[in-house]
Chains A and B, each alone.
Chain A
Amino acid sequence: MEAKKEVKHEAPAKQETKMQAPATVSSTTKQEARIGVFICHCGTNIAGSMDIPAVQEYAKTIPNVAYVDNYKYMCSMPGQAVINKAIKDNKLTGVVVAACSPRLHEPTFRTATKEGGLNPFRFEMANIREQNSWVHMHDQQGSTEKAKDAIRIAVAKASLLQDLFPKAVPVEKAAMVVGAGVAGMQAALDLANAGIKTYLIESSPSIGGRMSQLDKTFPTLDCSQCILTPKMVDVGRAPNIELMTWSEVDAVEGYIGNFDVTIRKKARGVLTPAEAEARGIVGGGCNGCGDCEVVCPVVKPNDFEVGMKPRKAIYINHPQVVPLIYTIDWNSCIKCGLCVTACGPEKKAIDLEQKDEFVKVKVGTAILATGFDIFPVEKKAEWGYKKYENVITSLEFERLICASGPTGGHLVRPSDGETPKRVAFVLCAASRDNTGNGKPYCSRFCCMYSLKHAHQIIEKIPGCTPYIFYMDIRSFGKMYEEFYYRIQDEGAKFIRGRVANILEDPVTKNLHVHADDTLLDRPVDMDVDLVVLAAAVQPMEDTNRTRKLFGVSCSMDGWLLEAHPKLNPCGTTTAGVFLAGVCQGPKDIPDTVASAEGAASAASIPIHKGEVELEPYFAMCIEEKCAGCGMCVNLCPYSALALVEKEGRQVMQVTEAKCKGCGTCGGFCPGGAIWMNHFATPQIVAQIDAFLLGGEQ
């Protein structure tokens, strides 16, 4: 039945299907419709809230209904067999299943319809669970009447449904990963190892992301850099990975299988060996020797060290960077040229006049792994971050305790360089915060890294006591609860209560932490040397721009939205675009890596399959009605429409593979010349009539 048609993505829309549309409609309406209605109990999910026999009796009276049945679980194999048999026995032309949301089981019942010998698009679903029995649990009569309405409306549409055939388009055998933190690196490595050419795009000068800023990881206390560096090196030399650092996605066009992505390669001011060779400088380009850095006269704070260490205007973030190529900070470079001289005439790696370049690549699928940023916790003025010197964030703590950090791993108070003896940790610093000045969600890894921080100071500073102010300790992962007990035994003090405010002693610069100990039911005023705020995390500032380029939604809090929170956590509602890591929501490193591997696997499926089927819900132009006004062309959000010259006049033409079937053009067209497959005007009007006229059509 199902004819797979080869569609070249560049080719104009198929003419035969276009001409066929109006013709098929008339034949469908003329043909006698015989609809089967199948009512699902869903155990007691539906049957517990409504009178199924009454609904069944009513369904028999609806025009065009030839067969009605009910079953305890319609989605089960026996339930599907009921549909299969009924189609054959009763010569049905359409199927209505009254059950759950089509988001859950439409594919199941389409398959059952197909197995019964009908085109799968002759199926229509009436949702009597999510939109009925679940919300009207205590209104038996009301939900029964509502189910009758829903079935009548579905039958009206099913009577007018036509055969449709999904199109297959070829998939480019290449993928893109945006963001080269641990999530992006893992996803890129998996894709590359599966034989897929992968473009890994990173907006900062080097890869590694947040994980490379951490000292140790919980609960194993591995050195973060030690376990990450091998991965960074692998990424740097994997033949299938084209690493593009200091680059950003500038524009995205196309659809699953055929994304045309424009990448802005920001001017680095420094040539890689390959770029140098392309300019004819044999054996030249940056080798990371650092001679330029020594002579550069401009000093700026190093962002990688959270501003606690200086860098030059020509810089690398830290000695282990991949790729080991210097970058010029154009906002501070004074173009004195000292670096050019120091670099010398052999390497000729520095180009102070370099401009941004644009590169176009074609990929089949893409993974967004854009990561997270730290909430600007100075907005919580009561804790005095950026006002009191000895109030720091956890990320600053990571750098201060790290052997390669600005203090060589010696934790010191910023005010006087002294070693602290009493350190307070403020958990949920702007997380789980419903005041409007903070984030309502749990940032998920702060409890665990703060436990790790407590361990580190006990280990490194004899006699130093950590005081952890917490709401709940969420030690949910493998070996996490055990780690929590270990830190308790090591002598960390836990105070259950939110920190109300922190005040600085103007003389000693010590801090008074005020809280309510809710276990002892008494106020606490604790004098400490250093306060570490476990600040909430939030999406990167640039995430919003990137997600719009790829047509991905976000939830209210800005995290990118997955297709289904449980059953499709890596996919998005845009086919061919997947999510990895914290850009989808806070995750610790194990969860981030797992999600990256999941996304890589999902993104490789269409590529290995070689082609993807597109839902046949695209718009079609009824050319004899089209006046060629072109108003629909600008309305289309997917650039799927164009005006073309046909028999001496202008008519609209649809690129089917680009059309998402949103219906914007169809609803607007003043001449009624646009036919929306599966959501055609006669079908929708029949549904409205069925609802308003109560079946008396």
Chain B
Amino acid sequence: MSEAKHKFAFYLGCIAPNRYPGCESASIKAMKKLGVELVPLKGASCCPAPGAFGSIDLNVFYAMAARNLVLAEQMKMDIALLCNGCYKSIWEVNHKLKHNKDLRDGVNEVLKEIDMEYKGTINVYHTAELLYNDKFIGVDKVRDSVTNPLTGARIAVHYGCHLTKPHKDREFEKEVMLNTEHPTWMEELVAALGATPVEYRNKMQCCGAGGGVRGYDIVHALDIANEKLINLKEVKVDALTDICPFCQLQFDRGQIEIKEKFGVSYDLPVLHYAELLGLAQGMSPQELGLDLHGISCEPFLQKVL
């Protein structure tokens, strides 16, 4: 393997390593084939969760996110992460601290206690953004890396909220990604793997988990997820793909909970895009930890392998 063109400090977050380790391994291995090396960001804490922390004490929220940013600054690397919630916390705090001196001074006051200082020297990217942006990888390279095309699979995309919203606070380098009402760039990435991307009713609706809703009122949260699952059933897809482990948890584990609480079952496999990419590049389901999913991926795997 040739020397990686780009290196990033890889921020894992909480759900990916604990619930869906396949996302982590798939990201590291698949991205390496595309010339991007993800170096573990050692000592990182919770991002912290934007809903849970951000709505209770902003100072703690800023300081914790800033600490994670400083760890990457010390590595002299930009951060790559694979979760929309982490993106909201770490990208947005980085953006705010870079542009607001008072806030930065306040955060540095706190960081001083652990001999750290936020300098604002790095950028933060979502791995999906790295895959789509031809400055790093781009759709063409993704397509070229496919050895096991997912031909015939009908796959719907769930974008998740925190990556794209609020629109006024997002500054993607690719202009296409700024269309946050009707985005289609993820569909391009799905098509690059040989699968058929499928549009469905109310695509941009929330998964129902974020903002502390899943923790606070699970029935309400599941009701929102259930509505999306009804809409997905309508267009008969083989799998749902996401770019956020928390959304993935909501749709994957959530289907079991929906079955318990509402008595409906969908049996729709839910895969992080990194897992799909891994499959398309020839990684085995075991290597991707797909057997750890709540909803069996078998029917989907039979179709594409």
Contact = CB atoms under 8 A, between A and B. Distances in A.
Nearest to A505: B201
Interface in B141-159: none
Interface string A497-508: 000010101110
Interface in A620-666: none
Contacts of A506: 199-201, 235
B181 interface: yes
A419 to B, nearest CB: 24
Given A435-B168, A506-B235, A501 B199 contact: no
Contacts of B235: 506
Interface in A279-293: none
A382 interface: yes
Contact of B181 (A382, A435, A512): A382
Interface string B174-206: 000001111000000000000000011110000
B172 to A, nearest CB: 15
A384 interface: yes
A361 interface: no
Interface in A481-517: 501, 503, 505-507, 512
Contacts of A436: 168
Nearest to B198: A506
A512 B199 CA distance: 16
B201 A501 contact: no
A436 B166 CA distance: 14
A503 B231 CA distance: 13
A387 interface: yes
A381 interface: yes
B136 to A, nearest CB: 26
A512 B181 CA distance: 15
A501 B181 contact: yes
The B interface is mostly helix, strand or loop, or mixed, namely loop
B170 to A, nearest CB: 13
Interface in B197-223: 199-202
Contact of B179 (A381, A507, A512): A381
B168 to A, nearest CB: 7
Interface string A549-573: 0000000000000000000000000
Nearest to A380: B181
Contacts of A384: 181-182
B126 to A, nearest CB: 21
Given A384-B182, A387-B182, A503 B202 contact: yes
A354 B235 CA distance: 57
Interface string A450-467: 000000000000000000
Nearest to B199: A506
A505 B201 CA distance: 6
B168 A381 contact: no
A430 to B, nearest CB: 14
Contact of A381 (B181, B199, B202, B234): B181
A506 B237 CA distance: 15
Contacts of B201: 503, 505-506
Contacts of A381: 179-182
A435 B199 CA distance: 28
Contacts of A387: 182
Contacts of B234: 507
Nearest to A383: B181
A221 B215 CA distance: 57
B184 to A, nearest CB: 11
A54 to B, nearest CB: 44
B39 to A, nearest CB: 37
Contacts of A501: 181
Interface string B38-56: 0000000000000000000
A382 B235 CA distance: 22
Interface in A365-385: 381-382, 384
Contacts of B199: 506
A613 to B, nearest CB: 53
B247 to A, nearest CB: 19
A507 B181 CA distance: 20
Nearest to A504: B201
Nearest to B178: A381
Interface in B98-126: none
Contacts of B200: 506
Interface string B248-282: 00000000000000000000000000000000000
B156 to A, nearest CB: 12
A91 B200 CA distance: 89
Nearest to B179: A381
A384 B179 CA distance: 12
B234 to A, nearest CB: 8
Nearest to A502: B181
A278 B186 CA distance: 64
B210 to A, nearest CB: 18
Contacts of B180: 381
A632 to B, nearest CB: 46
Contacts of A512: 202
Nearest to B205: A503
Contacts of B181: 381-382, 384, 501
B199 to A, nearest CB: 7
Contacts of B182: 381, 384, 387
A318 B217 CA distance: 61
Nearest to B201: A506
A238 B239 CA distance: 72
Most chain B beta-carbon neighbours within 10 Å: one of A384, A501, A506: A506
Interface in A432-462: 435-436
A602 B179 CA distance: 49
A76 B182 CA distance: 64
Which of A387, A436, A503, A512 has the most chain B CB atoms inside 10 A of its CB?
A503
A507 B202 CA distance: 12
A387 B204 CA distance: 15
Interface string A181-204: 000000000000000000000000
A512 B204 CA distance: 14
A309 B202 CA distance: 32
20 contacts: A381-B179, A381-B180, A381-B181, A381-B182, A382-B181, A384-B181, A384-B182, A387-B182, A435-B168, A436-B168, A501-B181, A503-B201, A503-B202, A505-B201, A506-B199, A506-B200, A506-B201, A506-B235, A507-B234, A512-B202
Given A381-B180, A381-B182, 18 more contacts: A381-B179, A381-B181, A382-B181, A384-B181, A384-B182, A387-B182, A435-B168, A436-B168, A501-B181, A503-B201, A503-B202, A505-B201, A506-B199, A506-B200, A506-B201, A506-B235, A507-B234, A512-B202
**List of 10 A-B pairs having minimum Cβ-Cβ separation, nearest first:** A381-B181, A382-B181, A503-B202, A506-B201, A381-B182, A387-B182, A505-B201, A381-B179, A506-B199, A506-B200
Interface of A: 381-382, 384, 387, 435-436, 501, 503, 505-507, 512
